[in-house]
């Protein structure tokens, strides 16, 4: 090939197009699609870097105007051409610039010098720390910096050195002072090592049961015939889906191919990883969002060299540059975290299927509560359905009772714990068995309002209610705005202002009050902030260092706690009021997964499901883990309302710091769309449900059509409009196809 199409690797959106360059003879072998090259650019022939996205024999413009490539970038990662192709697929299907799409599939573009990262860890006991803190504050001429550092450490446990000196602006001398006093330990952060390789242990595979074997055989039979498909492994909680993945991975490796396993970040626990390490040893590697770019780079290099054959990680692990990819597993495929929250808002499931098609790989989607989309595709035959209908070793599913909270109140019980749940908790504590209490969502209940006038205290920047934290502080979960709780209502002056209901923290207090003999752990965003926050809490609970674990949806994923025999779901229907078309689906998933935590050991489990809407189908179906019953009702609703998967939906979000401008541009776009295609249903523009975030006004337009391609065309129309429009100022526009939540 004589010519290369190069995309300039800078974030300047104006340059989001390709430029043709000549490939000099001496570079013929070195340059290929995916190479990072150095090229002369602009009038001054400035040397810049770019990616080769295509190659051709023919020039697009007069050959004498085409400049030659200077060379291949030093230290560059040669990107697999498939990943470039995947980037353009993502760009087309989800809407973004080519630059954004490339950055998504190539998270690291240049070698990072490996810098040692230091962390500072508080080693004082909690009580001692509190005493020292009081001493610090009361001391004459006290040091604000010391006070702040100790406070931060008490809150977070461990903080990166750079965050202290950089983000918190605390001089390093203060850290050294603390170290001399024996309050903190300073350590260079550890390099990720395979924990099993060191000990040389390994674990023989478990014998599969009939259902598991049948699922595996179905896939292997297809492979023998050279067929690569997408499978939906629907298996009730505790049915042994992971064992099926492992068997298929073992086969993949035996064929000299590689596998990617996607897991929701929250379920990426030590326990899960150990199972993979024990089975496959050194060829397993892990990626997580807390890794530094340098650490990720190393992982990618090792994957390309073939030292790693199995990559486990969240969404972004999908882009591991395996050239011999054979299998992609997506565990808990229904999880909302598989959808990117930044442009391009790609869905890892669809993108995985696209990548698998390009590389002739198979895809296995697993869930106890499949997304309505995937199950519909399995029923229509687009995916192949594999079912595990029973728990392993015929363990029974937990029995589940529904308690009507309205009746509780009517009969005089004002506690957040129903009488039945209290009774069963007493029983389990007496038997030294463990209990999990699931609170629907942090913050949702923690708002402050006035009982006299109904005024709710909101963030002045984000238009969401603030929630109450320890020390009577009110916080905004979007932007971090913080203020102290007023003593009288700012609207009417009444003193009856306060929080009515509670988040996890409040529940913890209530439970501790009512069961003073119980040891209680709480897991939510507040208690898991440190680098290993999740693991610490889950490990402590697994070691039976606590009797009760209270938590948000974080506690319902991944972990296996054999001693848990009771699960209480405190406000089952709260998520039903989230106000988007997936609320019922999300509720069913949460309840089923939460209930599925009970009785995974030798003793059968019980679940108490407390709710104000005991007859809602998602709650009734969750009671018996009856996915089919739920699906039938839900798909009928989606068809009736023309919601995905019965139709497709595109959200167009227009944001600007100037309200008038956001509104004008949104109106122009909506007008244009209505003109372009009358068969596409267009709603809006309206204020987003959170109308302002970080001082940006947000307008949304919702589009619906049976045909996804039509919506892609609408997206293209908007992109073309943006190219030509004037007066856009700071306006930003993003797209979200078949959204996972409301906006
Ligand atoms: P799921 O992901 O479907 O909830 P897991 O794969 O976590 O279930 O399996 C639940 C438990 O059952 C695990 O402890 C696993 O080791 C065990 N298990 C899986 N398959 C078998 C089997 N065939 N025989 C015995 N135990 C099994
Ligand atoms: Zn008031
Ligand atoms: Zn805010």
pLDDT digits (tens, 9 = 90+) for 406-457: 788 778 887 889 999 999 999 999 999 999 999 876 334 456 777 666 677 8
- The pLDDT, as a whole number, for residue 53 is 80
- The pLDDT, as a whole number, for residue 232 is 98
Residue-wise pLDDT tens digits, 145-197: 888 899 889 888 888 888 888 778 888 889 999 999 889 988 775 444 443 44
From 236, 392, 560, the mutation candidate for ligand 1 (largest count of ligand atoms within 8 A of CB) is 392
Q: Tell me the backbone φ, ψ of residue 495, rounded to 5 degrees.
A: -95, 0
Q: Is the pLDDT of residue 575 over 70?
A: no
From 203, 240, 245, the mutation candidate for ligand 1 (largest count of ligand atoms within 8 A of CB) is 240
From 208, 212, 243, 597, the mutation candidate for ligand 1 (largest count of ligand atoms within 8 A of CB) is 243
Of 37-41, 490-494, 536-540, the range with the lowest mean pLDDT is: 536-540
- Atom in ligand 1 nearest the alpha carbon of residue 275: 16
Ligand 1 centre from 207 Cα, in Å? 10
- The pLDDT, as a whole number, for residue 443 is 38
Question: What single string gives the DSSP state of each residue in 454-508?
Answer: --B-B-TTT-SB-EEEGGGEEE-TTT--EEEPPSS-TTT--S-EE-SS--HHHHH
Q: How confident is the model at residue 617 (pLDDT cuts 50, 70, 90)?
A: very high
Instruction: Select from 391, 194, 161 the least CA-distant residue to 285.
Output: 194
- The pLDDT, as a whole number, for residue 201 is 53
| Both tokens assigned to 81 | 């051409």
Cα–Cα distances (Å) from 189 to 105, 150, 578, in that order, read 27, 21, 40
CB count within 10 Å of CB 471 equals 7
The share of the chain scoring above pLDDT 70, in percent, equals 88
Ligand 3 centre from 481 Cα, in Å? 5
Mean pLDDT, range 574-591, rounded to an integer: 79
Measured CA to CA, the distance from residue 531 to residue 552 in angstroms comes to 19
Q: Tell me the backbone φ, ψ of residue 306, rounded to 5 degrees.
A: 85, 5
Q: Is the pLDDT of residue 501 over 60?
A: no
Ligand 2 centre from 631 Cα, in Å? 43
Residue predicted with more confidence, 125 or 633: 633
Mean pLDDT, range 687-714, rounded to an integer: 90
Nearest ligand, CA of residue 453?
2
- Token pair 């700012």 is found at 490
Ligand 1 centre from 208 Cα, in Å? 9
Ligand 1 centre from 569 Cα, in Å? 24
Measured CA to CA, the distance from residue 19 to residue 52 in angstroms comes to 9
- The pLDDT, as a whole number, for residue 606 is 93
Of 155-164, 492-501, 509-518, 670-679, the range with the lowest mean pLDDT is: 492-501
Nearest ligand, CA of residue 462?
3
Measured CA to CA, the distance from residue 99 to residue 95 in angstroms comes to 11
Please name the residue whose Cα sits nearest to atom 20 of ligand 1: 240
- The pLDDT, as a whole number, for residue 77 is 56
Chain Cα centroid distance, residue 109: 23
Please name the residue whose Cα sits nearest to atom 15 of ligand 1: 240
Ligand 3 centre from 478 Cα, in Å? 5
Q: pTM of the prediction? A: 0.78
SS3 561: coil
Contacts of 365 (CB under 8 A, 6+ apart): 230, 231, 232, 233, 330, 333, 349, 374, 383
Nearest ligand, CA of residue 369?
1
> Do the beta carbons of residue 494 and residue 488 sit within 8 Å?
yes
- The pLDDT, as a whole number, for residue 701 is 92
- Atom in ligand 1 nearest the alpha carbon of residue 212: 23
The share of the chain scoring above pLDDT 90, in percent, equals 43
Residue predicted with more confidence, 595 or 330: 330
- Atom in ligand 1 nearest the alpha carbon of residue 235: 3
Please name the residue whose Cα sits nearest to atom 7 of ligand 1: 240
- The pLDDT, as a whole number, for residue 161 is 85
Ligand 1 centre from 238 Cα, in Å? 6
Nearest ligand, CA of residue 208?
1
- Atom in ligand 1 nearest the alpha carbon of residue 237: 4
- The pLDDT, as a whole number, for residue 15 is 55
Q: Which residues line ligand 1 (CB under 6 A)?
A: 206-209, 212, 235, 237-243, 392-393, 560
Instruction: Select from 411, 427, 432, 402 the least CA-distant residue to 568.
Output: 402
Q: Is the pLDDT of residue 517 over 60?
A: yes
Q: Is the pLDDT of residue 339 over 50?
A: yes
Ligand 3 centre from 699 Cα, in Å? 17
Residue-wise pLDDT tens digits, 392-403: 988 888 999 999
SS3 39: strand
- The pLDDT, as a whole number, for residue 21 is 95
Please name the residue whose Cα sits nearest to atom 17 of ligand 1: 240
Instruction: Select from 273, 280, 228 the least CA-distant residue to 249.
Output: 280
Measured CA to CA, the distance from residue 455 to residue 88 in angstroms comes to 49
Residue predicted with more confidence, 320 or 10: 320
Residue-wise pLDDT tens digits, 370-394: 999 999 999 999 999 999 999 998 8
Q: How confident is the model at residue 607 (pLDDT cuts 50, 70, 90)?
A: very high
- The pLDDT, as a whole number, for residue 558 is 58
| Both tokens assigned to 640 | 């009736």
Q: How many residues does the chain have?
A: 743
Mean pLDDT, range 613-636, rounded to an integer: 93
Cα–Cα distances (Å) from 487 to 130, 450, 503, in that order, read 27, 11, 20
Ligand 1 centre from 431 Cα, in Å? 26
- The pLDDT, as a whole number, for residue 194 is 42
Instruction: Select from 489, 457, 462, 490 the least CA-distant residue to 474.
Output: 457
Q: Is the pLDDT of residue 24 over 80?
A: yes
Nearest ligand, CA of residue 395?
1
Q: How confident is the model at residue 199 (pLDDT cuts 50, 70, 90)?
A: very low
Residue-wise pLDDT tens digits, 276-312: 988 898 899 988 777 776 677 778 878 888 889 999 9
Cα torsion 31, 32, 36, 39: sign: positive
SS3 668: helix
Q: Tell me the backbone φ, ψ of residue 656, rounded to 5 degrees.
A: -160, 155
Nearest ligand, CA of residue 452?
2
Alpha helix (H) ranges present in 114-240?
A: 126-138, 144-156, 161-162, 172-180, 195-199, 210-224
Q: How confident is the model at residue 655 (pLDDT cuts 50, 70, 90)?
A: very high
Ranges assigned E (strand) in 626-731? 648-656, 681-693, 696-705
DSSP 8-state code for residue 447: B
- Token pair 């020292």 is found at 132
- Atom in ligand 1 nearest the alpha carbon of residue 208: 23
Which domains are seen in the chain, by residue range?
Answer: 2-105 (3.40.1440.60), 116-190 (no CATH), 210-269+276-289+308-392 (3.40.50.300), 395-444+500-638 (3.40.50.300), 447-499 (no CATH), 648-737 (3.30.70.600)
- The pLDDT, as a whole number, for residue 112 is 47
Q: Is the pLDDT of residue 696 over 80?
A: yes
- Atom in ligand 1 nearest the alpha carbon of residue 331: 2
Q: How confident is the model at residue 265 (pLDDT cuts 50, 70, 90)?
A: confident
CB count within 10 Å of CB 439 equals 27
Ligand 3 centre from 695 Cα, in Å? 9
Measured CA to CA, the distance from residue 237 to residue 260 in angstroms comes to 22
Q: How confident is the model at residue 463 (pLDDT cuts 50, 70, 90)?
A: low
Ligand 1 centre from 596 Cα, in Å? 13
């Amino acid at each position: 090939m004589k010519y290369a199409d190069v995309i300039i690797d800078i974030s300047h959106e104006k340059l989001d197009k390709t430029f043709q360059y000549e490939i000099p003879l001496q570079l013929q072998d070195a340059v290929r699609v995916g190479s990072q090259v150095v090229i002369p650019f602009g009038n001054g022939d400035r040397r810049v870097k770019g990616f080769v996205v295509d190659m051709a024999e023919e020039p697009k413009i007069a050959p004498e105007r085409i400049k030659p490539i200077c060379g291949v970038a030093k230290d560059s990662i040669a990107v697999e051409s498939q990943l470039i192709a995947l980037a353009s697929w993502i760009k087309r299907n989800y809407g973004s610039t080519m630059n954004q799409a490339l950055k998504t599939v190539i998270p690291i573009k240049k070698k990072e010098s490996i810098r040692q990262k230091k962390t500072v860890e508080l080693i004082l006991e909690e009580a001692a720390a509190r005493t020292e803190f009081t001493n610090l504050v009361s001391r004459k001429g006290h040091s604000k910096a010391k006070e702040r550092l100790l406070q931060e450490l008490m809150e977070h446990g461990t903080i990166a050195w750079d965050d202290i000196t950089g983000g918190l602006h605390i001089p390093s001398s203060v850290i050294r002072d603390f170290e001399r006093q024996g309050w903190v330990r300073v350590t260079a952060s550890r390099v990720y090592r395979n924990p099993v390789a060191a000990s040389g242990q390994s674990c023989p595979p478990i014998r599969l049961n009939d259902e598991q074997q049948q699922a595996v055989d179905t896939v292997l039979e297809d492979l023998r015939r050279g067929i690569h498909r997408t499978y939906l492994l629907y298996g009730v909680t505790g049915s042994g889906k992971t064992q099926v993945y492992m068997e298929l991975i073992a086969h993949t490796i035996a064929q000299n191919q590689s596998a990617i396993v996607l897991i929701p970040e929250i379920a990426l626990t030590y326990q899960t990883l150990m199972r993979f390490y024990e089975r496959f040893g050194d060829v397993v590697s892990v990626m997580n969002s807390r890794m530094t770019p340098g650490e990720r780079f190393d992982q990618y290099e090792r994957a390309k060299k073939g030292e790693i054959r199995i990559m486990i990680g969240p969404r972004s692990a999908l882009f591991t540059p395996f050239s011999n990819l054979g299998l992609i597993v997506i565990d808990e495929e229904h999880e909302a975290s598989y959808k990117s929250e930044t442009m391009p808002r790609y869905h890892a499931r669809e993108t995985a299927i696209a990548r698998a098609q390009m590389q002739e790989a198979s895809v296995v989607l697993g869930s106890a509560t499949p997304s309505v989309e995937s199950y519909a595709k399995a029923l229509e035959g687009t995916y192949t359905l594999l079912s595990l209908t029973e728990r392993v070793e015929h363990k029974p599913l937990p029995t589940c009772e529904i308690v009507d909270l309205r009746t509780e109140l009517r009969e005089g019980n004002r506690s957040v714990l129903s009488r039945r749940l209290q009774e069963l908790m007493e029983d389990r504590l007496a038997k030294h068995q463990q209990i999990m209490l699931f609170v629907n969502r942090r913050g949702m209940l923690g708002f402050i309002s006035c009982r006299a006038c109904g005024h709710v205290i909101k963030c002045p920047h984000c238009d969401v209610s603030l929630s109450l934290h320890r020390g009577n502080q009110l916080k905004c979960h979007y932007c971090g705005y913080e203020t102290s709780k007023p003593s009288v209502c700012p609207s009417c002056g009444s003193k009856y202002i306060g929080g009515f209901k509670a988040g996890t923290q409040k529940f913890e207090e209530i439970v501790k009050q009512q069961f003073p003999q119980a040891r209680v752990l709480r897991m939510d965003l507040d208690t898991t902030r440190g680098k290993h926050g999740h693991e610490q809490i889950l490990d402590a609970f697994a070691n039976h260092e606590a009797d009760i674990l209270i938590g948000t949806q974080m506690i319902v994923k991944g972990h296996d706690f054999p001693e848990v025999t009771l699960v209480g779901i405190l406000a089952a229907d709260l998520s039903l009021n989230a106000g988007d078309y997936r609320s019922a689906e999300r509720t069913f998933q949460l309840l089923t997964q939460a209930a599925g935590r009970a009785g995974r050991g030798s003793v059968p489990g019980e679940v108490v499901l407390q709710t104000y809407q005991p007859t809602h189908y998602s709650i009734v179906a969750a009671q018996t883990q009856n996915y089919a019953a739920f699906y039938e009702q839900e798909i009928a609703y989606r068809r009736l309302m023309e919601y995905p998967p019965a139709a497709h939906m595109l959200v167009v979000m227009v944001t600007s710091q100037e309200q008038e401008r956001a509104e004008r541009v949104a109106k122009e776009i909506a007008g244009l769309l209505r003109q372009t295609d009358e068969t596409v249903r267009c709603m809006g523009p309206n204020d987003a449900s959170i109308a302002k975030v970080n001082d940006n006004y947000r307008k949304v337009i919702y589009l619906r059509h049976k045909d996804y391609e039509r919506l892609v065309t609408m997206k293209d129309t908007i992109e073309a409009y943006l190219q030509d429009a004037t007066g856009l100022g700071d306006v930003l526009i993003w797209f979200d196809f078949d959204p996972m939540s409301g906006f």
